[in-house]
Amino acid sequence: MDQSATKLWGECLDIIKNRVPDQTYETWFKPIKPVHVVEEKLTVEVPSQFFYEWIENHYKELLGSVLKQVTSNGMKLAYSVVFSEESETPVPPAARPKQPYSGGATNRRQQVDSYLNERYTFENFVQGDNNEFARAAALAIAEAPGGTSFNPLVIYGGVGLGKTHLAQAIGNKSLADRTARRVLYTSSEKFTLEFINSIKNNKTTEFSEQYRNVDLLLVDDVQFFQKKESTQEQFFHTFNALYQSGKQIVLTSDRAPKELSGMEERLLSRFQAGLIADIQPPDLETRIAILQHKAQEDGIEIGYDILEFLAANITSNVRELEGSLIRLLALSSLSNTDITIDLAKKVLRETIGKSFSNTVSIDDIQNTTGEVMGVTESEIIGKGRKMEVALARQVAMYLCRDMTSSSLKTIGLHFGGRDHSTVVHACKVIDEKMAEDSALRNQIKSIKHKIEISQF
Ligand code: ADP
Ligand code: MG
């Protein structure tokens, strides 16, 4: 090493130290090694190509002005990049190449096991109003891990709503699109256990290496860090190391970060510094879409009304929703029977303990309405426009909306394949008529009563 280079660079560092934040200094300037001064050119060695690009993008002017100040003769700076596995450095966002990683000198490190389940992809994740924002944020991150201001991304929401799925989808997509090379998925429980083991086995260095050596770290269910102080401390350092080198962190939690008790304040404030996206329970339409997606994935034909029936009755949780479909299939193949509403009722009785013996069906309503209003069931379903038929039909539609959990679409389908807007119109007409026609009001009341008692 050249003495004059060492001296010169030392003077530069003294100035730089006072001009940039400590962490920046530690991360980006301390690792630089002076090599030599030749013909008014100071050559320094940087640990990697990314490192070089990052410096060029962010500190070119600073370095130029510092060098000018120190040498007063406009000395130039040149870089020499070393390619060694040990010194492989962070891939900061701005230094990230636009092209996918193509291998080569900086890509020699062995692929780590990511612990990802390949089933959890964006393609398999059904979008709904309940998860739209979280999904969009997740997608943005998968496209440029560490390259957005969403760092960390915290996805939170209740049990079985798709947090793990979404977190893993980020990992899978990043690897598939090569926006990240090293992805690691873990749960906070696993992290805790491994940390404890590493202490026991004197392997804490290996432990922290493993977690700091990634481009994208996904940590599931961080609520399990609550009250585990030394693990939190360890995680805090891991978090900082990754964050400061522009690596992406994605966390999931079963509650909002601000509601995590038993967490160190500094860790919480880190969690809150990025983007927080919640997932809410899915609405009926989304639940149906999820079931349709699952059925399709498994290559099974199953009636829309049955899917809707399941979706209408399992409201809180996608995992249960999935479970009900699987059970329904199992039951159908075990008992060698078709998948029917009755079988679905049986499944629901078993899974959520709900009894459906008194569930009103569209058929019951059409039947009883026809009976009371003096028209046949086939007339109700048919195309006839006679006034009393049309009225009975509208009343039956109205009652279907009132007494069943079927969607307007399904109701329409059961009325000779009519459109859902026809059902909407019928309900509106009956609402209006009932407001001024007490005879109709009473008639509808008695139809309802009759349907209800027929259920017992
Ligand atoms: P969490 O981690 O929030 O408890 P998971 O991610 O484990 O929930 O989701 C539970 C199950 O529901 C998984 O099998 C997942 O694939 C599925 N799931 C959840 N949300 C969706 C969705 N929007 N589209 C498709 N499947 C979903
Ligand atoms: Mg989960």
Decide if pLDDT at 23 tops 80. Answer: no
**What's the 3-state SS for the chain?**
CCHHHHHHHHHHHHHHHHHCCHHHHHHHHCCCEEEEEECCEEEEEECCHHHHHHHHHHHHHHHHHHHHHHHCCCCEEEEEECCCCCCCCCCCHHHCCCCCCCCCHHHCCCCCCCCCCCCCCCCCCCCCCCCHHHHHHHHHHHHCCCCCCCCCEEEEECCCCCHHHHHHHHHHHHHHCCCCCCEEEEEHHHHHHHHHHHHHCCCHHHHHHHHHCCCEEEEECHHHHCCCHHHHHHHHHHHHHHHHCCCEEEEEECCCHHHCCCCCHHHHHHHCCCEEEEECCCCHHHHHHHHHHHHHHCCCCCCHHHHHHHHHHCCCCHHHHHHHHHHHHHHHHHCCCCCCHHHHHHHHHHHHCCCCCCCCCHHHHHHHHHHHHCCCHHHHHCCCCCHHHHHHHHHHHHHHHHHCCCCHHHHHHHCCCCCHHHHHHHHHHHHHHHHHCHHHHHHHHHHHHHHHHHCC
pLDDT of residue 85: 39
- The tens digit of pLDDT for each residue in 281-328 reads 999 999 999 999 999 988 888 999 899 989 988 887 899 999 999 889
Q: Is the CB of 319 under 6 A from ligand 1?
A: yes
pLDDT of residue 89: 43
Mean pLDDT computed over every residue of the chain:
87
Cα(163) to centroid of ligand 2, in Å? 5
Cα(164) to centroid of ligand 2, in Å? 4
pLDDT of residue 48: 63
Q: What is the pTM of this model?
A: 0.62
Decide if pLDDT at 230 tops 90. Answer: yes
Distance CA 33, CA 37 (A): 12
Q: Nearest-CA neighbor of 171 among 244, 114, 221? A: 114
- The tens digit of pLDDT for each residue in 205-227 reads 999 999 999 999 999 999 999 99
Q: Which one is predicted more confidently, 100 or 435?
A: 435
283 within 8 A of 321, measured Cβ to Cβ: no
Cα(58) to centroid of ligand 1, in Å? 40
pLDDT above 90: percentage of residues in the chain: 63
Q: Which of 170, 319, 320 to mutate to test the pocket of ligand 1 (most atoms within 8 A of CB)?
A: 319
Q: Is the CB of 182 under 6 A from ligand 1?
A: no
Decide if pLDDT at 92 tops 50. Answer: no
State the ligand closest to the CA atom of 318: 1
What is the band of 110 on the pLDDT scale with cuts at 50, 70, 90?
very low
- The tens digit of pLDDT for each residue in 232-263 reads 999 999 999 999 999 999 999 999 999 999 99
pLDDT above 70: percentage of residues in the chain: 89
Q: Which of 161, 163, 250 to mutate to test the pocket of ligand 1 (most atoms within 8 A of CB)?
A: 161
Q: Is the CB of 287 under 6 A from ligand 1?
A: no
Cα(308) to centroid of ligand 2, in Å? 25
- Find where tokens 């290996």 sit: 206
Decide if pLDDT at 79 tops 70. Answer: yes
232 within 8 A of 268, measured Cβ to Cβ: no
What is the band of 131 on the pLDDT scale with cuts at 50, 70, 90?
very high
276 within 8 A of 154, measured Cβ to Cβ: yes
What 235-238 contacts at long range (C-beta under 8 Å, 24+ apart), as own/partner pairs, is 235/188, 235/191, 235/267, 236/264, 236/266, 236/267, 236/270, 237/208, 238/208, 238/211, 238/212
Decide if pLDDT at 3 tops 90. Answer: no
What is the band of 22 on the pLDDT scale with cuts at 50, 70, 90?
confident
Whether the bond between 152 and the residue before it is cis, its omega within 30 degrees of 0, is yes
Lowest mean pLDDT among 59-63, 178-182, 218-222: 59-63
pLDDT of residue 28: 74
Which residues 6+ apart lie within 8 Å of 31 measured at CB? 46, 47, 51, 87, 89
Cα(294) to centroid of ligand 2, in Å? 18
Tell me which residues have their CB within 5 A of the ion that is ligand 2.
163-164
pLDDT of residue 74: 73
